[in-house]
Each structure stands twice: as structure tokens, then as C-alpha cells.
Structure 1
Amino acid sequence: MQPAGVIATVAALLAANGTSVLDCVCRHLINVTDSGRIYQLSPAEGLVRWNYCADKLAASSDEHTSSPWKLVSQSADLEVTEERFAAWSPGFTTCGSLEQPPPAVSAAQRLADRLWDSGLSPPPAAGAEEGGGCAGALAQLRRLTGPESLQLVEELECQIADDCIDSRCVPRLNNMEWNVTTLQAADLRHHILSQSARAVRRIARATSGRVRCERWRGVPLEWLDKPGLQAQAAVFRGRLSSYWRDSVQLLSLSATHASQLLVPLAFESMGNHASDQQLHGWIKDMERVKDMLRTKLTGWVHDMQLAGKQVEHYEVEEDKDHPGHLILRRPLLSERLLRYQPWSPSFDDDYSALCKERQPEASQMFSLAHELYAFHRFYWYHAAESVGLSYGDDAKIVDEEWQLEDRSHDTLSVDTDCVQLLVNALDHPTCPLEDLPLEAVKQREQCREQLWDDVVQRSPHIPVTSYLAYTQRANVNLCLLAWMAVNSYGICQDVPFSMIQSVHDARCYFDTPDDQSCLQSNATEAMCSVSRAILLLKCRDFSSIKTSHNCTFSTLGSLSVYSRSSILDQKLTEQTLNYKNSLNNATLKYKDFKIDSLKPLEMSFILINIIFRFSTAGVYMYLPQLRNLPGKILLSFQITCIVQILCSEVVYRMAGVPDLPTAVLIDSALTLLSCFWLNSFCYHMYACVRHLRLPDQLLPAEVSQLFRREVLCVFIPCSIVCVAAVALEKTSKYYLIYSRIVVLAGISVSVGFNFVCLGLLGYMYLRNRCSMRQLEIVDNKKFASKKECLFMSVKAIIISGTGIIIRTGFHQAQGIAQVVYYMHLVTMVQGPVLFVCFVCNGTTLPILKNRILLWWNPTNIPAGLELCSAAERNLARRNNEQSPFSESSL
């Protein structure tokens, strides 16, 4: 047989039975090493011992005990030292000593300890006896020469990987439904545990073999002419695509078996002392943790799939600056984005204390899930990264950069119901082990869709016309909103974290805003996907990721290679915890759009406002002296304000109808109508002074005719503005900002008209005063007392609509809910102010007082009201006055 055939046969023999024969060979080589007869090993046995059995040596000798870090490996005891991990899976170690290992290494080590303590070492391999597969493999190894041994290492790496990729190294796994009976069945439980643990071990061994096989057989990139270079690049892309397909299949197998390992392994350490009743709840909670872990690992699998698809976009070209050298151009969506996958799933950190009351062992549950995830995060990232390092030696790697400015200070106008949901989730988080009501689940999905619609709308600010409109829309920082959505307590817990997909969606959102069809995520998940990419890549002020330099140690045969690389460290230090607390505090300013502690005060203010507005309207309807044209216009203004308060503060707040957007439209329309009534009043004041015709000089029929004309002049423009706003808002949700601008513009123009009219009145007063001085007409009588000046100033503010503008303008300062709420309370004092200024004055109050006194005592007629007609009053005045002519004659 040819040497190549012999080597292939030996490799196949060692990889037989899911590498059980190789385990047996390793135990034999370990025994030889322990007995001090290492010199008796052949070159092939020495290479196999070094490449595949050193982890067992670490468990049985002190050869590598100086290393402080250990990691889950493909060994039977699932334990390997730092140096050996670097040998079988090119990955991460430190350049020098650190006080503590990275969190992922510590978590993976805890998992290895759990598996070791559980006694999950596999049974002796079948055929280990003399004459079986083990003995035959040892006999074949001793016949190989040194060069053939190196070929065997290469062949064995690829053979182990190929066998596992074809699912021959792990048993077919049926998803076990654990219950009290199956968990308490020790034989079944230990069988599943051993099966899953050996599967994880073999998959890990196959993965490291696939990595090193790629390094052995990968296509080297060499400088050629242009046609030859393109042909070489095509082969390179094909080889790399094959590697990623194999890695995805192995990762998917590993994730499945790791998830299956979670429940029985947890039962071994924490659940076997519970009663049957407690065990039912324990199993339910553990299955929920398993689903959470599966969601996290699903994101990894999806990312690996997308990374493989991007290989076809890799380009190889000559380096113009360095002739004879090559450049490998990778697209933005390459495997380098895998570094942004979080180190921790945030289970143990965020949920342990939260779920302690429901499940006393919640901390252990989440900790075990964290350890399994940490192993995958550490292991699979570096398994992928090592391939990039391998072809980085042949060509200069140039990654596409995403040219987009920092978004840390951008703002968006979003739905306040969703913001309230996000803030409530942070302020009052719930344990994820609890079953959420179906209504809450739907609410979260609807909130994700609503927020995505708001993000697509891209409006930095939507004008607010009233307090109701303020409670409908909120201006939120884009990066803060992204953090609120995707943090551990947010609405994206059930959406897998796929970093490559997130960057693709975010690039689609920013680069092609008019074509949302390029999104890979559906409408329900798009908000989560884009938010993750925005938060990690485009929010400098919101990023807690720190970069640290570390050494990557890898071994190719007997050649050791050290290289400097930069990885991302997301350790939960005191600094990052303080940063997280600062984000929580920044979010809580959106907590209360209404303050519960002030609700009794608010209801009291609303009641007082309504009472005084009704009182003012009643006085204007009761007194004949106030039924002139200005009085009717002010009465219409009061009735409009009363209807507005009843609709927004009573009907909507108490009955909850209509829906909030409709209530905002009604409230805005009534605010606009109030402004137009003030326009009519101000214009009538100007017309009266301009034409020197006071309201009391108009006949009742003329007053009615003019009032009907004023009603038309008020309702026609108000209806036009309202219809335009409603049409825009109901046509498309993206036109919401335009509808609000139309209403706000109408209010602003209306108040501006009032200022013009009042300005003309002031101008005419100053002109007349100047004319009187030119005519040397001097009057020592003051224009008004201080009290009357104060009343007139307040009246001018009310009549001009300045209060409406101040209130509306103040509401634009969104993001400070409590202060805006205080402003809302202040506006409820307008009713008493109107009553005091328009009723409690020197003209109206005495008339009203006399009318009220006549109710109590009709016989007590006040002075000046004794006579019943103007003719009798004139006759009495003539009789009481003494003629100056008669006095002079006397």
C-alpha cells in the first residue's frame, strides 16, 4: 500500500467510533509517560501524544500546572491548560501574567469543574482490549516514520472533522422532555449527561481539527498575473466558504448538545434535593433558562451562516503601494463583526437577585447557563478568528469601513406608550422565569413595531400643541432609545442577537432610507436588530466596550507563532457598572408623564377650573349689560374652553375614550378655535375704536347680525386648518409631523394677528395723546389705578393669546416630564383668573352684586335703582337740580 493510503487508513482507524479509539490510544500513551518510559514512544506516538493527549497529561501530571487558566476541551475530563488550548485551537492567551483571567475563561473553567465533579468521564473505548481497534492503531502508529507522522497529524485533523460534520461522531439527539420521573431516573439521567458531554467533547475536538486542517490545507495567496490571481482568488473563496459551512454545522451541533446538557447537569448540582412539588416548578424554570440560552446561541449560529455567505464578496488584488504584495479586501459584513457578540448573556448579573424570591436557586441556574454561553463565546470566536490570522500572513487585510458620523446626540420623536413601557421595564423589572400574560407579549411586539415606524419616520421633533399631545410623543436620544430597547430588561429578550444581520439592517436603514426592502429582519425584529448595531458601532458616548491588546498563540506542527491582536473586553468592572447606572438614571426622566403623587392636586385644580369657567360663562349669559357683541364673543371663547377641558380632562382621562390620537386632534382643534375667538374679539375692539362706535350703541338686531358674521369668520378658517391636519394625519402615519406643524402654524398666525390688533390700539392711543398735547389740552386725571393697570395687563395677556403660546411653546421642551406636568397644573388656574379679571372688576361686579341682593330681598332697592324708567330718573334729576339762571336772578 502507498504511504498516503497507509496514513489515511491509520487516521480513519484513530477516528473510528467517534474518536473512542483515539481516547484509548491517549490513555495508553499517558500511562507510558507517567511510568517514565516516554523515550520508548515512536515519532508518530509522540506527535499524537502532544497534539491530542496533552489535556489528559494535564489531568494526570504536573507538566502544565504552572498555567493559571484552564478551558473546556475535547478531553475526556473536559479540562485543558492554557498552553494546550492554544495548541489544539489557535486562540487567546495573554502576553505576561494577569491577576485574573478574562470572564469567559473563568466561566468556562467553572463549567469544566462542574463536569469533572459530576463524574462524566466516558467509559473505556470499545476495542481497547488487546487485538481490538486500540491495539491495532498503536501497532500502525509504531510503523510510521517521522515525515509520515507529520502527514498523519494533518490527515487526522481533517478526518476527525469530516466524520463529525457527517454526524458520525455524535449520536442522533432527540430533544428530551424532562419531567420529575425522567430526572429522578439516575440511569437515564447519567446516560443523557454522558452522551451530551461526550458529544460536546467530540464536537470541540472536531472543530479544532477543522481549524487546523484549514491551516494545513488552506489556499496560500501568492502574487501572480491578473488572470492567475483571479483564479487563485476564486479557489480561495471556495475553500473558505467550505470552512464556514462546516463550522456552522459544528456550531449548530454543539449548541444543541450544550442546551440538552443544561437541565440534567443543573439537576445534578442543585435540584436533586427538592420535593416533587418543588421539582415541577424547578423544571419549568430550568426549561425557561434553557430557552433563553438557546436564543443566545441561535444568534451565534446565524452570524456564522451570514459570515460564510459574505466570503463570495472577498476580493484579492495587488497592493499598489507595495508591488509584489497582495491585499485581501473584506466587506463590512465579515467575521470581524463576531467580536461584538457580548461576552456575557446578562443572565447571572441581571436576573439572579430578581428571581430569587420566585426561585431560590435562580443564581445557580443562570450561572450555569452563563458558563455554557461563555464557553461558546470564547471558543467559537477564536476558532473563527484564527482562520483570519492564517490568511492574514499571506496578504494585507483591508476591511471596509462604515462611513457614518457619531449618532450619540441625535434625537427622535417616538410614541410615549412605548417609552413608558421601556422605562417601566427598567424601573420595575420582572423575572424572566415568570410567564408573561399574552397581552404583555403582544404589547411588546406592538411596541417594537411602533418604535420601528417612529425610527423609520426619522422625525427629530414633532411639535406639541397641548399637554395631551405631549403625553403622546416624546423626544428621545437615539442612542439612549437603542439602549433602552436592547438592554437585558427591554423588549428584545426573545430576539436572537445576530451582529452581522444587525449591521446589515442598520446600513440599510442609514444608507438606503427610502428602500426598506433590503432589511433582513422582519418588521417585528427590525427595531432590535438596528438598535444593537447603532449602540455598538455608532454611539461613542453610549459604548462600554473597551479595547485591550493580547497575544494570540497558535501552533502549526512544531512551529509556534505569536502575534499581537486587539480584542474587545467587556468585563463588568466598577466603571461599566457605574456607566450602566447612569443610563438607568438618564432613562428615568421619561418615567412619569403624569405624577401619581400629584393626582389629587391635579383633579382639584381641574374641578376648580371647570367651576370658575362655568361661573364666568353664567355671568355673561345672565347680565343684560354683557350680552353685547364683545360679550357674546368672550362667551363663545369660554364655552370653547369648557368643552376642551371636558373632552381632554374629564371624558378622555376618566372614560378613556376616544383613543389618544383622536383626543389630541380634538384638543388641538379646540385650542385653535379658542385662538380664533380671540382674533374676533381683538379685531372688534380695534374696529370700535377705529370707527368711534361703541358696542352699547348697536341695536340688538345689528348685534345678532354681526355675531353671526363673526361666527362664520371664525369657523371657516378653523375648519380649513383642522381638516388639513386630520387629512394629513389620517392619510399616513408619516405625515404626523406635518399635521402638527399645520395646527401649530395656525395657532401662531392667530396669536400674531391678535398682537397686530392690540398694537394698532396702542398706536392709536399714543397718537391721540400726542395730538391732545399739541392742542395744549391737559387733564390731571390718571389713566387708571395700579389695580386697574394690573387687571388690564392680565386681560391683555389672555386676550392676545400669549398664555396659549407660552403653554404650547413650553411643551416643546420634551424630555422633562415633571416640569411639563407642573406647567399643565398651572394652566388649570386659568378659570379663576378669567373670573377675577372679567367679572370681579369695577363695572361688572357691582351690577352682579345688586342682582344677587335683589334675589334675597326684592323690596330693598339699591340707590339708583328705585325708579323703573329712564324718564322718571330724568324728571327726578331735573327736580333736584337748581337752575343756575334762577340762582343768579335771586
Structure 2
Amino acid sequence: MNSGGVVASLVILLVANDNELLDCVCKQIKFAGEQAGRVSVSIGLSEIWSTYCIHRDDYQLYETCDNLDQSSPTLPAVGRLVPTTWDMKPFRHADELKCGFVTEKIRGLTVDAAVQLSRELSCHIAANCINSYSVQGSNDTQWNLTTLETYTLWDPIIWESLEAVQRITGATTARDMCYLRHPVNLPELSSKQPGMLTLTKKSKLAPIGSRRVTAPHDVKEFQAVVLEELSNYWRDNAQLLSFGVTHVSRLLIPLAFKYLSKNVSHEQLDRWIEDMKHVRDMLHTKLRGWERDVQYIRKQIANYTLEEDKETPGSYILRRPVLNDHLLDYQEWYLSFRDDFSAQCEQQQPKASEMFGLADAVYSFYRINWLRTKYSPSVRDIIDEKWQLEDKSSAVLNVDTDCLQLLADVLEHPTCPLEDLPPEAVQQRLQCRERLWADVVQRSAHVPVTSYLAYTQRANVNLCLLAWMAVNSFGVCQDVPFSIVQSVHDARCYFDSPDDQSCLESNTTDAICSVSRAVLLLKCREFSFHKSPELCAVRYYGAGRYPSGFEVTWTDPLRGYVKPTKRTLSYKESLYSVTLKYKNFKIDRLKSLEISFVVLNILFRFLTAGLYMHLPHLRNLPGKIFLSFQITGIVQILCSEVVYRMAGVPDLSVMVLIDSALTFLSCIWLNLFCYHMYACVRHLRLPNELAPAEASQIFRRQVLYALIPWSIVCATCIALERAARYYLIYSRIIFLGAISLSISFNLVCLGLVGTMYLRTRNSMQQLKIYRKGKFASKKELVFMSVKTVILSGIGIIIRIGFHQVQGVAQLVYCVHIATMVQGPLLYVFFICNGTTLPILKKRILACFNPDISIPEQDLCSAAERNLARRKKEQAVVAESSL
């Protein structure tokens, strides 16, 4: 039999019985080496020893030095997951006979045959492991106190998973060796035959061979070979990882029960098991991210290209897209469950620190042994596509403050993850992620604010800060598996194709989490640094053995480790203290002042409106329009300051629409008032010259004119906001534009009135027409100036202008309180004047003294007044006589 046939027979024999014969061969080689004084007794045995035997006891666990403790049960628990080495396994006599036969066969192999055997053997170990397991799922055993006390780690139902994770760990190492030690050979240019290339491909199922192809097709054919090898490699990794993740999730609870529940009372075991299930689910979510990454990487192999290096003929360059295995470096190298959640869960579960510590250690152990080594063909250079996107540390978005408040509250007041969140809290987090994603897709850096309530509805936030708040350990994204490849894919889709959201791999609920992780890790240089704390390593030597001391072995930066910088924390603090703190009007020292101003505003507005309805000389056309303005203001204050803030209805977005609509309606009433003021001056006609019936008819027509544009604008804005959240900015722009246009109209009318007054005064001076008194006193000029400012709506523009400012919520809040003095101002400057105040004073005095005459009720002569007084006196005498 030739060497190829011998190698194939040996491979089949060695892997036929779960590698037990190969473990026995390692024992035989060690025994032979001890007898001969050296290990490498022959070329074949030396090759097997170096490629298989001495690498089977090199398993490490990396963790932060603070979390590694000699007395912790975590170390022996993780040791149970370490593959048992060949020197710890017993063998039956029949196996030892086969072992001796195989050892002698290997001893006689040539160098080429021994090399081929090592490669074929490492490849077949992984393939045999994949073919051996068919996993039913991670929840086929419902662990409870009865099942855990019945089974031990040696029972078949548990031993199956324990043996599986051990074999998968060994198979992963063997699979890496299969490709790393024996990669696909690259073709080289033949100097003797120009235009011809030699393409050599080592097959893992056949002896080493070669074939020759013509030059124009060599690179393409070799690319197909390389990509096939890469695809097979990542296919095997995906299968092994999928099996491993499932078995680890199945095994974690009985493993923890074996090593962590010794000091737990029997009464507390039920609660301990339920809490351990939460920890298992948290770990499973993390491990699923690995599984997704490996599957995505395999899909991307088809986008790899191989080309000949023009500068170095005979050498090749492998070009890879952004989505390649290089991104796996951004997967977390170790978890921080213990540091993050132990304090929150200590009261509920005294063993929480050990539970989280076990999950952290299991994750770290498999991160270093399942997801560390990556294979690439032996090309001259590997060039990765660059993601052409600038640093996003200064990017700003406008988002929903309710969601932002939720993110801040989660960070400020974290809860224990072992507790089941109420269904409404879970739904709130899901809805928040959807709303945040809608805000991110909208990409608006600022949404125009037309009311103080709208200021509390939207907030400008830094994109990197938002990403950190969302994906923080205490954030709202912890139930979403972290796949770095999917995250980068989603982020590129978002930034490069903003109008094509169909390219997203994530659904709408998870998209904000996916994109935020990629942005934070790759495009937020000033918001996080990747300097990891000092790590310690525990080296296992099989069967759970480890040394008594820990050695600091790794202090290099880890890409997947994200720690916020001082700038991140300062941004967060300023966001929470300046913007979110005032979202619900929570400035404690101004609370009483604000309430007082609101009460005075409402009281004086009601008083002013009542006087306009009661006093006859104010019930003219301008008075009716001003009364409508007052009623609109009263309704607006009652809705926003009383109903919404006290009763909480309607919801904030609806209340913002109502508040903005009433602000716009107030501006329309001012338009009508200013227009009639202009018309009266232009036509030299006083408002009181209209008959009551004519004034009412004109007023009804003016109300119709006012409601038509108001209804159109309101209906358009409501339709936009109800159609989709993407149109929120357009709705606010329409309201802001309508209000600005309305106030501009007021300013034009008042400007025309002032121009006509100046022109008339100049004409009278030219005609040398003089009057003894001045046009108006200083008090009257002040009154007219303030009235002009109020009627122009400049105050509304100033208030809205302050609302556009972000990050100065305290100042905006003070401006909001200042606007509450509008009610007293309207009373003083529209009632307390030389015409209305005397009438009001006499009416009030007439209530106490009937003899006081009211100007509009004066009789025609003194005789009539005397007659009326005499009749009144006679009536009093008659009553007294009765």
C-alpha cells in the first residue's frame, strides 16, 4: 500500500472512536520518549506529538485581576469545561492493542506522509465532531430543584453537554491547525514558461497534488479555490460555534448548582434556580452574537477578491470588504456582569456576585478558545476596504425627550437584571427604541419649537452620547445580541444609503441598538477609549488543573472594551442636569413663583375678558376681536398649565399641537385687531361709529376669515404628524412659518399706522396748525408703546426664539415664567387708561352709592335728574310708611 493509502487508513482508524486511539498514541509516544530519553523517536511520531499531543493542554482564562480569587468556586467550575487531556484518560486493553498497532504504523511514515497525516488528522477531528452532534435546543431540560438534585455532572443528560463542549473546544483548535499549518499553496510564475502558472492545491481528502492551467484563467481559478477554502473554514466554525453555544446554555445551570449552591439553604434554592436562569439567558444573548458574526462572515466570503500584485510579480493580494473577520476583534473579550450588576442584585440574591462571576468566566474562556484564531491564505498582503466615514463625535440629533429620559433614568437608577421587568416597562423600552430609530433616520439636528411644551418634547443630543446611553450595560439594548458585523452593515446602510432602509439586517426595534454599537466602537473617538484594565490569565492543564498563582500576562488595549471618557460623562451630566431636569418643570426653588404667576395670569385674563363683555363702550368691533384674543389665551393656559400638568391628559404630542394651534389663533386675532386699527386711521372712522348690528355682522365675517386659514394650517400639521414621525419637522416648520408670517403682518399694519401718524403731524406743522396741548403725555406714550408691542406679537416671537435654544433649559424656564405676567399687563395697559378706568371706578363706587352718576348713563338736564331723585325718594317714603 502506498503512503497515501496508509495515511487515509490511519486517519479513519484514529478518528473512528472519538479520538481515543489518538490519545492513546500520545501516551505511547510519551512512554517511548521516556524510554529513549527523548520524545522525537521518529519523524512520524514527532509530527503527531507536535501537532496534536502537546497542544491539548494549553487552555487559558483571561479575566480582570480583581475578579480572580483563589477561593472562588468559579475557577474549578470553568475547569470542568476544559477538555480532558490524553494523559488523564483510562483505556481498555483492546484499545491499547489497537493503539500499539497504530503507533507502529505512524513510526514508519516518511516525512511527507507524516505531514499529510497531521493535516488530514486535524481536519478530520473537526469534521468528525460536527458530524457527531445533532443538538435539539438549549431548553429541552427544564431545570428545577428536583431535576438538579437527581442528576449529577456524570449523568448522561448532563455529561452529553459537558463532553460536547470539551470536544468542540478541541475540535476548534484542531480546525485552526488544519488551515494555519497547511494553507492553500499560492501559484508562482514560471520563468521557463511565460504565460503559464502552476496552481497547487492541497486537498484535505486526497494526497497532495498539483495541476496546471493557462495564464488568463489562473488567478480566477485560484481565487475560487481560496474562497472555497475560506468558506469551508467559516462554515465549520459556524457549525461548531452553534453547537457549542447551545450546549453551554444547557450546561450552565447544573454546573453552577454543582459549584455555587453549597451554602444556599434548601428554602432559598428555588429562588436561586430562577435567578440562575436569568444569568443563563443573559450569557446566551452574548454568545448568540458570536454565532451571528461567524455566519455573516461566511456570507461575505463571496465578496473577497484575489489579484496579482503588479509591483511583485508572482505574489497575490487578497482584497476584503469592510465586513470581514477583522471585525471580530471588536467583540467583547470579557464581560462585566459581576462589576455592573452585583451591587444591584445583592439584596435580592446574596450569591449574585458568584453567579455573574461564573457567567463572566465562561464567556472569557470561550472567547479566547473559540473566537480568537482566524485563518487567512498565505498571500503577500491583505487589504481591507475602509469605511469612509468621518469621526461622529460632534454629530447632533434631535430626539424624543421621553426616550432620552428613559435612557438617563436607566443609567442613574439601574435595576437588577435578575428581576422580571413589568410588561409595561418592557413595552416602553421597545417603543422607545423604535422612536429613537425614527429620530435617527429623520436625521434632524433641530426641530423648530413653537411652544414651551414642545421644548420639553424634543432635545438635541450628541449622536455618540446617545449611542453610549443606549448600548450601555444598563441601557435598553441588553436583550439584543451584539453582532459587530451586522452592526457595521446596518451603520453603513444608514449613513451611505439613508433613503434605502430596506438594506438593514436588523428590524426596526433593534436597529438603534445595532447602529449605535458600530458608531460607538468605530466612529466616536472622543467618547470612548479602548484601554482595558490589567488582565490576569489562568492556564488550565486539563481536567480543571490550574496553578496556585496568577500572572499578569496581557495589558494590551482591547478593541471591544469601551469605557466612557471624561467628555462622555460630562456630556451626560449636562444633558441630565440642564435639559432633562427641567423637562417636567422640576425647578424646585422656582415652583412656588411659577404657580403664583400662573394663577395671576389666569385671574387677570378672566378679569380683562369680563370687563370687555360688561362695559358697553368696549363691545365694539375691535373690542370683540380683543375679547376673542383673550378667550383664546385663557383656553391655552388652562390646557397647557392646568389640564395637562395636573391631569396629564392629553398626551404630550397632542398637547403640543393644541398649544401651537392656539398660539397661531392668537396671532390671527392680533392680525384682525391691527388691520382694523389701520382701517380706522386710514378712513378717519372711530370704532364706536358702527352700529351694534353692523359691528356684529362684520365680526362674524371676520371670524370666518380667521378660522379658514387657521383650520387649513392645523389640519395640514395634524395630518403630517399623524402620517409618520418623519414629518414632525415639517409640521413644526409650518406652524412656525405661519406664526412668523402672522406677526410680520402685524408689524406691517402697525408700521403703516405709525407712518400715517407721522405724515399727518408733518402736514399739520407745514400748515402751521397748532394746538395748545401736546399730542400725548409721557404716560400715554408709554401706554401706547407697550400696547403696540403686545399687539404686534413681538413677545411671541421672542418666546419662540428662546425655545429654539438648546442646552439652556433653565433660561427658557425663566422666560416661560416671565410670559405669565402677560395677564396683568393686558389688564393694566388695556383697562387702566384714561377712558375705561374712570367708568370702571364709578361703576364700582355706584355699587355702594347709588347717587353717583355714570358718564354713559347721564340724563339730559338737571330738571330730569331732580325728578328722578324725587321719584326715588317718594318710593323710599312709601316703603317706610308700609
Establish whether residue 485 from structure 1 lines up as the match of residue 447 from structure 2.
no
What is the deviation of 1:799?
1.0
Q: 1:637 aligns with which of 625, 629, 632?
A: 629
Partner of 1:288: 278
Establish whether residue 220 from structure 1 lines up as the match of residue 185 from structure 2.
yes
Structure 2, unmatched stretches of 5+, are 189-196, 198-214, 534-554, 867-882
Q: 1:694 aligns with which of 672, 686, 691?
A: 686
Partner of 2:129: 164
Partner of 2:388: 403
Partner of 1:428: 413
What is the deviation of 1:214?
1.5
Partner of 2:702: 710
- Cα displacement string for residues 29-55 of structure 1 (whole angstroms, at most 9, x for unaligned residues): 556778994368444444444433336
What is the deviation of 1:772?
4.3
What is the deviation of 1:22?
3.4
**Greater shift in the superposed pair: 228-237 or 699-708:** 699-708
What is the deviation of 1:633?
1.5
Establish whether residue 330 from structure 1 lines up as the match of residue 330 from structure 2.
no
- Quick one: distance in 1 between partners of 2:743 and 2:650? 29
Contact 1:79 1:112 in 2 (8 A): no
SS at structure 2 position matched to 1:382: coil
SS at structure 2 position matched to 1:360: coil
Q: 1:475 aligns with which of 455, 460, 464?
A: 460
Q: 1:240 aligns with which of 218, 230, 241?
A: 230
What is the deviation of 1:425?
1.5
Establish whether residue 113 from structure 1 lines up as the match of residue 75 from structure 2.
yes
- Cα displacement string for residues 513-561 of structure 1 (whole angstroms, at most 9, x for unaligned residues): 222222222222222222222222333333423699xxxxxxxxxxxxx
State the one-letter code of the partner of 1:313.
Answer: N
- Quick one: distance in 2 between partners of 1:810 and 1:429? 34
Contact 1:644 1:670 in 2 (8 A): yes
Partner of 1:533: 518
Decide whether aligned partners of structure 1 residues 774 and 168 sit closer, same or farther in structure 2, where only a CA change above 3 A counts: closer
SS at structure 2 position matched to 1:482: helix
Q: 1:505 aligns with which of 485, 490, 514?
A: 490
The within-5 A match list for 1:780-859 is: 781=773, 784=776, 787-859=779-851
State the one-letter code of the partner of 1:707.
Answer: F
Establish whether residue 661 from structure 1 lines up as the match of residue 653 from structure 2.
yes
Structure 1, unmatched stretches of 5+, are 56-73, 82-100, 549-565, 877-890
- Quick one: distance in 2 between partners of 1:348 and 1:173? 24
State the one-letter code of the partner of 2:672.
Answer: S
What is the deviation of 1:172?
10
Q: 1:260 aligns with which of 206, 230, 250?
A: 250
Decide whether aligned partners of structure 1 residues 271 and 867 sit closer, same or farther in structure 2, where only a CA change above 3 A counts: closer
Contact 2:63 2:334 in 1 (8 A): no
Contact 1:18 1:169 in 2 (8 A): no
Partner of 2:541: none
**Greater shift in the superposed pair: 779-788 or 398-407:** 779-788
Partner of 1:728: 720
- Quick one: distance in 1 between partners of 2:792 and 2:401? 32
- Cα displacement string for residues 409-439 of structure 1 (whole angstroms, at most 9, x for unaligned residues): 3333333322222222122221111101111
- Quick one: distance in 2 between partners of 1:578 and 1:480? 12
The within-5 A match list for 1:560-579 is: 569-570=558-559, 576=564, 578=566
Establish whether residue 4 from structure 1 lines up as the match of residue 4 from structure 2.
yes
What is the deviation of 1:709?
3.2
**Greater shift in the superposed pair: 284-293 or 353-362:** 353-362
What is the deviation of 1:195?
5.1
**Greater shift in the superposed pair: 176-185 or 866-875:** 866-875
Q: 2:145 aligns with which of 180, 188, 196?
A: 180
Contact 2:74 2:358 in 1 (8 A): no
- Quick one: distance in 1 between partners of 2:283 and 2:60? 24
Q: 1:460 aligns with which of 445, 468, 472?
A: 445
- Quick one: distance in 2 between partners of 1:161 and 1:810? 67
SS at structure 1 position matched to 2:398: strand
What is the deviation of 1:625?
2.3
- Cα displacement string for residues 726-769 of structure 1 (whole angstroms, at most 9, x for unaligned residues): 33333444332222211111100111111112222222333334
State the one-letter code of the partner of 1:752.
Answer: S
Contact 2:219 2:307 in 1 (8 A): yes
Partner of 1:202: 167
- Quick one: distance in 2 between partners of 1:750 and 1:345? 59
Partner of 1:581: 569
Decide whether aligned partners of structure 1 residues 168 and 609 sit closer, same or farther in structure 2, where only a CA change above 3 A counts: closer
Aligned residue pairs: how many?
A: 813
State the one-letter code of the partner of 1:287.
Answer: K
What is the deviation of 1:153?
2.3
TM-score (norm 1): 0.83
SS at structure 2 position matched to 1:18: coil
Partner of 1:155: 120
TM-score (norm 2): 0.84
What is the deviation of 1:105?
13
- Cα displacement string for residues 206-240 of structure 1 (whole angstroms, at most 9, x for unaligned residues): 11111111234432233542311101111111111
Decide whether aligned partners of structure 1 residues 206 and 477 sit closer, same or farther in structure 2, where only a CA change above 3 A counts: same
What is the deviation of 1:590?
4.3
- Quick one: distance in 1 between partners of 2:683 and 2:306? 88
What is the deviation of 1:341?
1.6
Q: 2:295 aligns with which of 288, 298, 305?
A: 305
Contact 1:339 1:381 in 2 (8 A): no
Q: 2:617 aligns with which of 611, 625, 628?
A: 625
Decide whether aligned partners of structure 1 residues 606 and 112 sit closer, same or farther in structure 2, where only a CA change above 3 A counts: closer
CA RMSD of aligned residues (A): 3.6
Contact 1:299 1:496 in 2 (8 A): yes
Partner of 1:17: 17
SS at structure 2 position matched to 1:398: strand
- Quick one: distance in 2 between partners of 1:856 and 1:628? 28
State the one-letter code of the partner of 1:180.
Answer: L
Establish whether residue 591 from structure 1 lines up as the match of residue 601 from structure 2.
no
Contact 2:490 2:506 in 1 (8 A): yes
Contact 1:508 1:519 in 2 (8 A): yes
- Quick one: distance in 2 between partners of 1:866 and 1:232? 108
Q: 2:603 aligns with which of 611, 618, 639?
A: 611
SS at structure 2 position matched to 1:273: coil
Partner of 1:443: 428
Partner of 2:263: 273
- Quick one: distance in 2 between partners of 1:170 and 1:523? 31
SS at structure 2 position matched to 1:412: strand
Partner of 2:309: 319
What is the deviation of 1:315?
1.0
State the one-letter code of the partner of 2:815.
Answer: M
What is the deviation of 1:321?
3.8
Contact 1:424 1:591 in 2 (8 A): no
- Cα displacement string for residues 229-283 of structure 1 (whole angstroms, at most 9, x for unaligned residues): 1011111111111111001111122222333332233333332211122111111
**Greater shift in the superposed pair: 398-407 or 137-146:** 137-146
What is the deviation of 1:134?
4.3
- Cα displacement string for residues 819-839 of structure 1 (whole angstroms, at most 9, x for unaligned residues): 433433332332222222222
Contact 2:21 2:95 in 1 (8 A): no
State the one-letter code of the partner of 1:164.
Answer: C
- Cα displacement string for residues 710-735 of structure 1 (whole angstroms, at most 9, x for unaligned residues): 32332222223223323333344433
What is the deviation of 1:294?
0.7
Contact 1:237 1:311 in 2 (8 A): yes
State the one-letter code of the partner of 1:282.
Answer: W
